[in-house]
Structure 1
Amino acid sequence: MGSERQERMKVLGARLRALRAGAGLSGAALAQGAGVGQPTVSKVENGRMVPSSDVLERLARALLLDEATSREVRDLLTAVESASDRAAVTTTPPLGLTVDDAVRSAQLVRSFQCVVLPAMLQSAEYARHVFSSAPNATPEAVGSAVAARVERQSVLYEPQRESVFVITEAVLRTWPGTPDLMLAQFDRLLAVESLTTVRLGIVPWRRPVPLMPRHGFTLCDQEAVVIETFDRERVAVDSGELAMYEEEFERFKGAAVFGGEARELLLRVMKEFQGLGPVAPS
């Protein structure tokens, strides 16, 4: 079994390789455009080399990445740099890791959230605020949890998977940090929403919810549901519980808007954040 760092290097490399393929570039062409050697591109894409931040920026420019995608690959590099070189072991998972097995094994992930953004859609900075508010959170635990969350998001880009997210408009207006943090988060939402493997639905505040939501949850295929409580995530596999959450998800999904309507709503709320200006920390 490889180390945590090696696994995250592979995730970063695979994402860069997919972006290069999407841009229609060979490894040699990308290397030339970025002003780096072709072996560097090969080693990074195969998870055998950690690029410096300068090399990563050169690759991003050569790939003509937009700001949201550039930020995404920078977050993946941050996850590599914060990872341990020790071999991964199977233990009771630390903060933020309890759903990895359920999510990674699922071909269909369906998530509903009424307060906080779904874990799979959070930027690294947003996730840092989420974990920092957890009871007994230490800087080390928060850093590890954020890195793991960013790494988990790589499944969004795997073509054989499908992810459906339904959130209330309140999620977009319940924000940590600063308006700038949320503007960066909106950029990420818009980028992810455009993926063919992802559907993002929003229940507008003008539309009544089908039932009063009490917490968020994530369905992994028809095998498990991750139920979020105040201080932890609980994975349930009971068939009756699964059926109840599947029914609730479909009801919230039916109340949501998708596609162009969802993007229009995102852009409208984003514009409101742009008008907030600097906000003093509380």
Structure 2
Amino acid sequence: MTSLVPWQERLSAGTEAVQDDVIREYERTKQGKAYVPNMVWGTLQTEGYATVILKQVVDFLGVPDDAPAGVAKRMERQRVLYDGEHHYDVILGEQALYTNIGGPEVMRAQADRLLRDIDLPSLTLGILPATARVSMFPVPGFGIFGDGDTVNVELVSTGVDITDASEVALHQKAFALLREKAAYGDAAKDLLRKAQSFWDSAPLQE
């Protein structure tokens, strides 16, 4: 089964209620997966990074502006990284480290955060190098939740929830292929430090 809910409908009361839904989804997911090719996974975002993202969502969709409340909820959802009851296997595309969200200062803080959290027991963080030869054609980002039985894909206008077993299996297969070429451990840290150095040398003002 596939469920599609337009963002303007889902966010008609603002961002806070949706973030509450996300918190519940993450709390019920003991072993989750996420592939995020061009931005930082929400559960690893700094407050500054998340503020820029949610403000852009509000402005683009024209929904009620409660971005500060939405950001607070996004920060609250990050407790799953520290409660000892969850584990997330996350692949970020290397491009996610360079997509300019909010300018160099925000990106510097975000790179610092990733380097700080990469060794969390609750997190397996891989970075897919931009030049990696992956046995998988380019696909949008997606998350695998619940007991591995639900896939979420965020499109420009719509959030898509997929529960059909055969479609979920294809996303699991895609994740495994992407994971084969992702960098982990020291290699991932090297890519993060490279991005950190880039933003350290970037001017504060654009």
Does TM-score exceed 0.5, indicating one fold? yes
The CA distance in 2 between the partners of 1:232 and 1:101, in whole Å, is: 20
The equivalent residue for 2:49 is 126
Per the alignment, do residues 228 and 124 of structure 1 end up closer, same or farther by CA in structure 2, a change over 3 Å counting? same
Between 115-124 and 234-243, the greater mean CA deviation after superposition = 234-243
The structure 1 segments of at least 4 consecutive aligned residues displaced by more than 6 Å after TM superposition are none
Q: Output aligned runs, 1:1-282, within 5 Å.
A: 94-95=14-15, 96-97=18-19, 98-134=21-57, 135-140=61-66, 142-220=67-145, 221-280=147-206
Q: In terms of Rg, which structure is larger?
A: 1
What do the CA deviations read for 1:6-47 (whole angstroms, capped 9, x no partner)? xxxxxxxxxxxxxxxxxxxxxxxxxxxxxxxxxxxxxxxxxx
Give yes or no for contact 2:13–2:64 (8 Å, CA) kept in 1: no
Identical counterparts, % of pairs = 25
The CA deviation string for residues 47-89 of structure 1, in whole angstroms up to 9 with x for no partner, is xxxxxxxxxxxxxxxxxxxxxxxxxxxxxxxxxxxxxxxxxxx
3-state secondary structure, aligned to 1:139: coil
Q: Quick check: which one's strand share is greater? A: 2
- Is the Cα contact below 8 Å between 2:118 and 2:125 reproduced in 1? yes
Gaps of 5+ in 1: 1-91
Letter matched to residue 28 of structure 2: S
Instruction: Note closer, same or farther for the CA distance 1:183–1:137 as it changes in structure 2 (3 Å cut).
Output: farther
Contact 1:179 1:276 in 2 (8 A): yes
CA distance in 1, matches of 2:70, 2:121: 27
Q: TM-score normalized by structure 2?
A: 0.84
Within 1, Cα distance between the matches of 2:161 and 2:167? 11
TM-score, reference length from structure 1: 0.63
CA positional deviation for 1:101 = 2.5
Structure 1 counterpart SS, 2:156 = coil
Q: Which runs of 5+ in 2 are unaligned?
A: 1-11
Q: CA RMSD in A?
A: 1.8
User: 2:183 and 2:136 mapped to 1: Cα distance?
Assistant: 17
Aligned to 2:5: none
Residues in 2 aligned to 1:174 and 1:193: alpha-carbon distance in whole angstroms = 19
**How many residues are aligned here?**
188
Instruction: Give the number of the structure with larger relative contact order, counting CA–CA contacts within 8 Å between residues 6 or more apart.
Output: 2
Could you tell which deviates more after superposition, 130-139 or 170-179? 130-139
> What is the CA distance between 1:232 and its match in structure 2?
4.3
- Name the CA distance, whole Å, in 2 between partners of 1:179 and 1:211: 32
Q: 1:244 to 1:250 in 2, by over 3 A?
A: same
